[in-house]
């Protein structure tokens, strides 16, 4: 009986995630193809035999309605691309690269419609300009003016900086290498690991430090993110094919909140 209740609860959670995902696509104008129709339909088919009361059946119907709306958005997206003569940017780039410079110049001249503006200096404007330069303080005097209070400088020792947590005790690259090796060990028997499961620690300070190191691993190309939109879970895995300091034109920003409230929420879930 308890297992049956857990199955129904899991099914309701899945339907609510489907509805929320479709809402986000429609309200925020996201790419409608992030809704994997075959997958969400399979989820609905799996849990449909479990629904008995009207509330559960209404939730199931709402999920189907939202999926239909997402399919409609996908259809409109394709129709818009086809009717607007959409061309892939890479094809346009390849076409332009193959054209001779003279041909490109002629095309530019045909499409160029410059805006012409006529400006004229008046006697009043000239008088204002002369007055401005006459009243301006000479450059040598302006440089003599004090820009602000002078600060006393001093020296400090390495131990003092370490005590103030201004620098790390070990070289940052060495710490990054150690962290990468830890990620490789964590994913040795699986293709990836949940982001919070890997960076989460007993203290918020340590969690923030691990998230900071992870951001460098991803930036340098040592690791990559994978996002499960249905489950709203972020995974991370080492990337053996990339090398540090490589330039990736398709790099994109991927913000992840690692605030104190997020850490507390993770701790509560991890302790259950």
Q: What is the mean pLDDT of each run of 10 residues along the chain (272 residues)?
A: 75 87 84 86 86 87 89 85 68 83 88 74 83 82 60 53 54 80 87 88 87 84 82 83 50 68 81 60
Both 79 and 169 in one domain: the answer is no
Q: Show the tokens assigned to 3.
A: 């297992």
Both 75 and 172 in one domain: the answer is no
Residues making up the chain, counted from first to last: 272
Please give the residue range of the domain that contains residue 204. Answer: 165-270
Query: Is position 25 within any domain?
Result: yes
Both 169 and 263 in one domain: the answer is yes
Query: Is position 251 within any domain?
Result: yes
Both 76 and 169 in one domain: the answer is no
Query: Is position 219 within any domain?
Result: yes
Q: Which of 83, 104, 121 is the last residue of a domain?
A: 83
CATH for 253: 1.10.10.580
Query: Is position 144 within any domain?
Result: no
Going by C-beta distance under 8 Å and a sequence separation of 6 or more, which residues neighbour residue 228? 234, 235
Confidence (pLDDT) at 222: 86
Rg (CA), the chain: 30
Confidence (pLDDT) at 145: 57
Both 174 and 265 in one domain: the answer is yes
Number of Cβ within 10 Å of residue 74's Cβ equals 16
Query: Is position 118 within any domain?
Result: no
Q: Show the tokens assigned to 39.
A: 């997958």
Confidence (pLDDT) at 41: 87
Both 262 and 170 in one domain: the answer is yes
How far apart, in Å, are the Cα atoms of 124 and each of 22, 45, 120, 132, 133?
63, 80, 11, 12, 15
Query: Is position 122 within any domain?
Result: no
Q: Which of 41, 57, 83 is the last residue of a domain?
A: 83
* Number of domain units in the chain: 2
Query: Is position 151 within any domain?
Result: no
Query: Is position 103 within any domain?
Result: no
Q: Which of 55, 83, 111 is the last residue of a domain?
A: 83
Q: What are phi and psi of 223, to 5 degrees?
A: -145, 160
Confidence (pLDDT) at 191: 83
Confidence (pLDDT) at 154: 55
- Give yes or no for a contact between 195 and 234, defined as CB atoms under 8 angstroms apart: yes
Confidence (pLDDT) at 262: 83
Rounded distance between C-alpha atoms, residue 190 and residue 181, angstroms = 15
């Amino acid at each position: 009986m308890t297992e049956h209740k857990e199955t129904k609860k899991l099914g309701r959670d899945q339907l609510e995630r489907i509805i929320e995902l479709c809402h986000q696509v429609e309200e925020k104008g996201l790419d409608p193809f992030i809704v994997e129709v075959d997958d969400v339909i399979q989820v609905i088919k799996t849990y449909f035999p479990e629904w008995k009361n009207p509330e559960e059946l209404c939730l199931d119907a709402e999920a189907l309605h939202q999926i239909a709306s997402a399919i409609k958005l996908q259809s409109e997206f394709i129709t818009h691309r086809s009717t607007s003569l959409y061309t892939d940017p890479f094809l346009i780039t390849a076409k332009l690269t193959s054209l001779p410079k003279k041909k490109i110049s002629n095309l530019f001249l045909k499409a160029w419609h410059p805006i012409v503006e006529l400006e004229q200096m008046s006697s009043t404007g000239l008088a204002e300009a002369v007055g401005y330069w006459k009243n301006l303080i000479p450059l040598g005097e302006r440089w003599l003016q004090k820009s602000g209070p002078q600060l006393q400088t001093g020296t400090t020792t390495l131990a003092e900086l370490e005590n103030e947590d201004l620098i790390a005790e070990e070289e940052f690259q060495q710490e990054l290498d150690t962290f990468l090796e830890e990620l490789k060990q964590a994913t040795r028997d699986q293709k990836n690991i949940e982001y919070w499961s890997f960076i989460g620690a007993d203290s918020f300070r340590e969690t923030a430090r691990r998230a900071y190191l992870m951001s460098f691993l991803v930036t340098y190309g040592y690791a990559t993110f994978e996002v499960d939109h249905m489950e709203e879970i972020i995974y991370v895995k080492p990337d053996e094919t990339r090398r540090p300091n490589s330039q990736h034109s398709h790099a994109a920003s991927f913000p992840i909140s690692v605030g104190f409230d997020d850490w507390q929420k993770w701790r509560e879930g991890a302790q259950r």
